[in-house]
Chains A and B, each alone.
Chain A
């Protein structure tokens, strides 16, 4: 679209550039004309003709507004000027603008006195770099209800990857935004178009950390109808009929109170058949080396637990035989002669199943502890060097102690006959809310590492999205742990492997900096006053404002646009809490069943 500022409607002029303060290449101020009202976050444009005839446009976003009475020297003058009407004064309305873009790209400040207009139409698209975006994804609406886009090529790993979401909990913005982002990708035409040919194979894993909230995203939101303005916002984003996520698989951990062989969950808000219980079989536990994620502090350089853990992890793989007639169970017995100490090689060995009485059967976590205890706390005090990796007795006992401690926390997640989380549907919700912190780390570590490993050597597409709240728990700023190493790895290399981390945290300051800094696109909701200072990409005004944000208002920072843009995202039409899910209507249920049959037929 051609830009012709001279032909633009003069009524768009809101004021002129303030000459009493400096206008720079980064910011300027506007003296508003009489009766002009300009809000924060509005987009404006000002044009000037350079000496060589070039038409130069500056695009900006309003960051602060201020009114004052010129001529009032003392506070008491205000009354005389406005109420008593005995002293004249001039009302002055001023707004500050942060420069978003200069077209053409010349590093020149705007001209004082130049007229400033609201940026609409092609000007607005220019202001938001829409012409520069290769893969625009609507990601919210601005102050005026018009869509704001993020360049998906900075999220999907092409030019940049990962999405970082910050905000205090309780205002329900982080998870909601993560889900909104997934909805735009998976459930809208525009989103599917961005996912491209491999779209049907793209998967997202959402970890549910709070209540049973996210186990309802496949249901309509009962409160949606009561939210004024939500349909309009969705419409602005190109979604005429927002609804629940169409294809979701829900997973919940195997109940802690399960008896051997049972696979129930503790979920109350959904029917049994709707939620799949997950756990790992002993075989998966060993073959995926999940012992690593059982000992959260194993990487701490101050102790030697990691030596023991690594050794035990390999030894278990070497000692593992399939247990005859018990799928997933393992028989621990001395390895065949010449068995490698290299994990990868051991895993390639095809071993025949053996009978239970030929060694030590491993059907549950307790079996593992029973097996390891005599090795690490021998009656005669002599440690088996094959297992203990030459560490002192103290370390060996420390290893056992930690394993004992994890038994009640993680034990129930290792069971024969269990199924681990499978990414069959586009969106998979994995509930971890009821688990102990260590068990949460175990599940996240086990699942993310599997997803990451499956993608090694398979190219960027199809993408894998991992939506993980409370990132500070898994990759804290201080300390080392296997899961932290894994997430740092995902943050650094996930971009090229197509594993995209949608990470959320209360405060980015509490998360490992490499994880946060690797996210090309950041979204910030309401911040705690003490934490806002850490967000250097926010202007001082926005940092202050962010402590007062209401739910639904966030600031979007992306590489293309030099200033953060406040956005609003619509109230979801899918349930994001148990309370919002009042079940599905009969018609919908019938249609869902019909659809399911259709899919089966295909």
Chain B
């Protein structure tokens, strides 16, 4: 056995989370290279423009509605999510299309508006049926993902090849002017057969595996962004790409080649990003920019308390 140190900082977990008992997924089948797992190093120029889309969310205050007669507690959350894009061309790289949403989400089918607070604080009120304590926060996450997916669709339609941070399944539309691809940093499950899976760390920097089919809508492949330092684990620097099946296998192979030739240059910088190299530079910068756009968390919390307390003020008494 050899000992390695994970490149990611411990607080951010680990990118390789495959359990030992995982024996590979069904409905996964290699579709390139006659069903064998090979490595490809496409010798082509990087694709420009390329758009990176990402989102962030933040729960800012947990809320309760308490029925003193029944003792029932319903939960809610006040929070915000933001998404935006980075458009990179050969000669420029800049932020685009930043959107911030501030919501109050109630569980248990309840509703309740928070009044606006000076300083630009206002919340859209939403509701879900679930009574689970963390359901409102999950809904916030879900809404961020959906907003991200919609932005990725818009960007692919209007700007060019778009990378969405995470799996592709929030990108609903298959008929976009330019392709959208999913970019997955963490590996939760073994997708290929164990004997193929164990060969994936053998990829060289800038190489991808053969494409494989993922259910009925996506193709996927693994890609190594940077050479592994002797110290990092075998899976360090390996990400997975997802591309839609709708354009056909040939287009999917071309797209994966283009991405393989393009993405390594954007690999995250170890001293700057705790999830480097998987967290790409544009995504890392975008995340901190978006988090900044969410506003000061302390002020957000204060605004919620202020909104709730003014909501409780009996009308007509000021």
Contacts and interface: CB of A to CB of B under 8 A. Distances in A.
Interface of A: 71, 73-74, 76-77, 80-81, 84-90
Contacts of B68: none
Nearest to B90: A85
Given A73-B272, A84-B265, A88-B289, 10 more contacts: A80-B281, A81-B93, A85-B91, A85-B93, A86-B93, A86-B265, A87-B93, A87-B285, A88-B93, A90-B95
Given A71-B285, A71-B289, A73-B272, A88 B90 contact: no
A71 B286 CA distance: 9
B163 interface: no
A76 B93 CA distance: 16
B66 to A, nearest CB: 39
Contacts of B92: 85
Nearest to B281: A87
A74 B89 CA distance: 23
Interface in B107-140: none
B282 A74 contact: no
Contacts of A80: 269, 281
A87 B284 CA distance: 9
B196 interface: no
Contacts of A74: 271-272
A90 B271 CA distance: 21
5 contacts: A71-B289, A73-B272, A76-B269, A86-B266, A87-B93
Interface in B85-100: 86, 88-95
Nearest to A84: B265
B288 to A, nearest CB: 7
Contacts of A84: 265
A88 B289 CA distance: 10
Given A74-B271, A80-B281, A81-B93, A88 B265 contact: no
Interface in B49-95: 86, 88-95
Nearest to B89: A85
A90 B94 CA distance: 8
Interface string B282-308: 101110110000000000000000000
Shortest 6 CB-CB contacts between residues of A and residues of B: A87-B281, A85-B93, A88-B93, A88-B86, A86-B281, A86-B266
Contact of A85 (B88, B269, B272, B284): B88
B236 to A, nearest CB: 19
Nearest to A77: B272
Contacts of B288: 71
A89 B88 CA distance: 12
A77 B276 CA distance: 14
Contacts of B286: 88
Interface of B: 86, 88-95, 265-266, 269, 271-272, 281-282, 284-286, 288-289
Contacts of A89: 285
Contacts of A71: 285, 288-289
Contacts of B265: 84, 86
A203 B91 CA distance: 67
Contacts of A85: 88-93
Nearest to B48: A85
A85 B282 CA distance: 9
Contacts of A76: 269
B294 to A, nearest CB: 16
B272 A86 contact: no
Given A71-B285, A71-B289, A88 B95 contact: yes
A88 B285 contact: yes
Nearest to B267: A86
Contacts of A81: 93
Contacts of B269: 76, 80
Contacts of B88: 85-86, 88
A192 B254 CA distance: 84
Nearest to B96: A88
Contacts of A88: 86, 88, 93-95, 282, 285-286, 289
A85 B92 CA distance: 6
A408 B286 CA distance: 83
Contacts of B86: 88
A422 B93 CA distance: 75
A84 B265 CA distance: 9
Nearest to A73: B272
Contacts of A90: 95
A87 B269 CA distance: 10
A28 to B, nearest CB: 21
A202 B91 CA distance: 67
Q: Which of B89, B95, B272, B285 has the most CB of A within 10 A?
A: B285
Nearest to B284: A87
Q: Which of A77, A80, A85, A88 has the most CB of B within 10 A?
A: A88
Contacts of B282: 86-88
A514 to B, nearest CB: 54
B198 to A, nearest CB: 32
A74 B268 CA distance: 14
Contacts of A73: 272
B90 to A, nearest CB: 7
B54 to A, nearest CB: 12
Q: Which of A80, A85, A89 has the most CB of B within 10 A?
A: A85
Q: Which of B86, B91, B95, B281 has the most CB of A within 10 A?
A: B281
Q: Which of A74, A77, A86, A87 has the most CB of B within 10 A?
A: A87
B118 to A, nearest CB: 15
A85 B265 CA distance: 10
Contacts of B89: 85
A92 to B, nearest CB: 13
Contacts of B266: 86
A76 B272 CA distance: 10
A86 B288 CA distance: 15
Contacts of B91: 85
Nearest to A90: B95
A77 B285 CA distance: 11
A470 to B, nearest CB: 58
A276 to B, nearest CB: 73
Contacts of A87: 93, 281-282, 284-285
A76 B91 CA distance: 19
Q: Which of B90, B93, B284, B288 has the most CB of A within 10 A?
A: B93
Contacts of B90: 85
A209 to B, nearest CB: 60
Nearest to B288: A71
A164 to B, nearest CB: 50
A500 B271 CA distance: 66
A531 B101 CA distance: 57
A128 to B, nearest CB: 38
A298 to B, nearest CB: 72
A88 B93 CA distance: 5
A89 B265 CA distance: 17
A76 B270 CA distance: 12
Contacts of B281: 80, 86-87
A90 B292 CA distance: 13
A86 B262 CA distance: 11
A73 B271 CA distance: 11
A87 B267 CA distance: 10
A77 B282 CA distance: 12
A366 B266 CA distance: 92
A143 B91 CA distance: 35
A420 B94 CA distance: 78
A46 B86 CA distance: 34
Nearest to A85: B93
Nearest to A76: B269
Nearest to A71: B285
Nearest to A91: B94
A93 to B, nearest CB: 16
Nearest to A81: B93
A485 B289 CA distance: 67
Nearest to A74: B272
